């Protein structure tokens, strides 16, 4: 079915009442970069970019996203947001819920979310999300959003630096249909969500799937590293913590790790 869509060059569901062109690559540097280049040439266009392999897959905080041929899903949705930037930020939170639900539906494996938006299966990260906003020349608003999603589907092995951290859905096997079904389910979920971003019902689901709530964590805010306890997630996705020094804070960015032992 996905092969059919690729052949026809568009996805069957519409985004904001417009057909969604689909660009498929056997190999590219990064589907987010493909989307960026496309946007530079076609200012008002929306499209979906999918690759079988990425040579320079990008992760958050300037990291690389390991993207070997055929093992994973590397997809980016380029869209022109209808909402204010604050709602666009919520898109990544919603995307993690959509990806977790799709993984559970398609593979039957339980998927949890680690703040901010990594999806975990069997305590290993299987999915990462990188949203990039293209800002207008004048301050305020956002011209376009590129929502990149990477999922480790069939990988058996990972490079040494990812061992014990990254995992895959099939761990060397897995149903050959998983990849296509996940891409279809996730794209449909995103299109559905984007048609009504004011609906924040996904936040409840995000909290339910959170693997950090009520856990002792270590926070890294880009400058300091400190221990804390995660107590809540606000409607805008902010993580409410109590530091071990007793201070209540809400984190909107940064990295956390879960402390397993005290």
Q: In sequence order, what are the residues at sequence separation of 6 or more whose Cβ sits closer than 8 angstroms to the Cβ of residue 12?
A: 5
> Is residue 183 close enough to count as binding ligand BTN by CB under 6 A?
no
Based on CB atoms, which residue is closest to ligand BTN, 99 or 142? 99
Tell whether residue 148 is a contact of ligand BTN (CB under 6 A): yes
Phi-psi map region of 134: left, alpha, beta (phi>0 left; psi -120 to 50 alpha): beta
Using the rule CB under 6 A, give the single segment among 28-36, 181-189, 220-228, 249-257 that binds ligand BTN: 28-36
Toward ligand BTN, which CB reaches closer, 66 or 202? Answer: 66
Selected from 13, 19, 36, 60, the binder of ligand BTN by CB under 6 A is 60
For residue 17, CA distances in Å to 9, 22, 188, 191, 192 come to 17, 15, 13, 10, 11
The stretch among 2-10, 27-35, 195-203, 251-259 that binds ligand BTN (CB under 6 A) is 27-35
Rounded to a whole number of angstroms, the minimum distance from the CB of residue 95 to ligand BTN is 11
Rule CB under 6 A: say whether 168 interacts with ligand BTN.
no
In the block, tokens 């590293």 appear at 225
C-beta closer to ligand BTN: residue 200 or 258:
258
- Confirm or reject binding of residue 189 to ligand BTN (CB under 6 A): no
Q: Please state, in angstroms and rounded to a whole number, the distance separating the CA atoms of residues 57 and 257.
A: 23
Asked whether the beta carbons of 75 and 183 are under 8 A apart, the reply is yes
Which residue of 57, 81, 189, 237 would you call a contact of ligand BTN, by CB under 6 A? 57
Going from the C-alpha of 96 to that of each of 44, 225, 242, the distances in angstroms are 26, 25, 24
* Alpha carbon distance 17, 78 (integer Å): 15
Q: Which of residues 80-139 bind ligand BTN (CB under 6 A)?
A: 118, 128-130
Question: Does residue number 208 form part of the binding site for ligand BTN (CB under 6 A)?
Answer: no
Q: Which of 76, 96, 101, 210 binds ligand BTN (CB under 6 A)?
A: 76
Distances from the Cα of 81 to the Cαs of 84, 90, 111, 135, 191, in angstroms?
8, 12, 28, 11, 12
Kindly state whether residue 152 participates in binding ligand BTN, applying the rule CB under 6 A: no
Which parts of this chain interact with ligand BTN (CB under 6 A)?
Answer: 30-32, 54, 57-60, 63, 65, 74-76, 118, 128-130, 148-150
């Amino acid at each position: 079915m996905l092969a059919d869509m690729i052949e026809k060059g568009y996805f069957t569901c519409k985004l904001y009442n417009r057909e969604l062109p689909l660009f498929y690559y056997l190999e590219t540097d990064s589907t987010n970069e493909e989307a960026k280049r496309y946007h530079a040439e076609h200012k008002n266009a929306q499209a979906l970019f999918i690759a079988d392999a990425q040579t320079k897959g990008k992760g958050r905080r300037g990291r690389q996203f390991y993207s070997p041929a055929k093992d994973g899903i590397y997809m980016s949705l380029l869209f022109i947001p209808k909402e204010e930037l604050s709602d666009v930020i919520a898109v990544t939170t919603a995307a993690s819920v959509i990806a977790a639900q799709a993984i559970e539906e398609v593979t039957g494996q339980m998927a949890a979310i680690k703040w901010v938006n990594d999806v975990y299966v069997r305590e290993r990260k299987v999915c990462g999300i990188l949203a990039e906003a293209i800002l207008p020349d004048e301050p305020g608003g956002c011209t376009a959003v590129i929502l990149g999603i990477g999922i480790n589907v069939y990988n058996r092995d990972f490079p040494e630096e990812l061992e014990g951290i990254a995992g895959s859905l099939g761990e060397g096997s897995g149903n050959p249909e998983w990849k296509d079904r996940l891409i279809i389910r996730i794209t449909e979920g995103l299109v559905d969500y984007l048609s009504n971003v004011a609906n924040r019902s996904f936040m409840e689901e995000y909290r339910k799937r959170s693997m950090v709530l009520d856990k002792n964590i270590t926070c890294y805010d880009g400058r300091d590293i400190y221990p804390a306890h995660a107590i809540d997630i606000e409607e805008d996705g902010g993580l409410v913590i109590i530091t071990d020094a007793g201070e209540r804070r809400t984190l909107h960015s940064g990295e956390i790790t879960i402390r397993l032992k005290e």
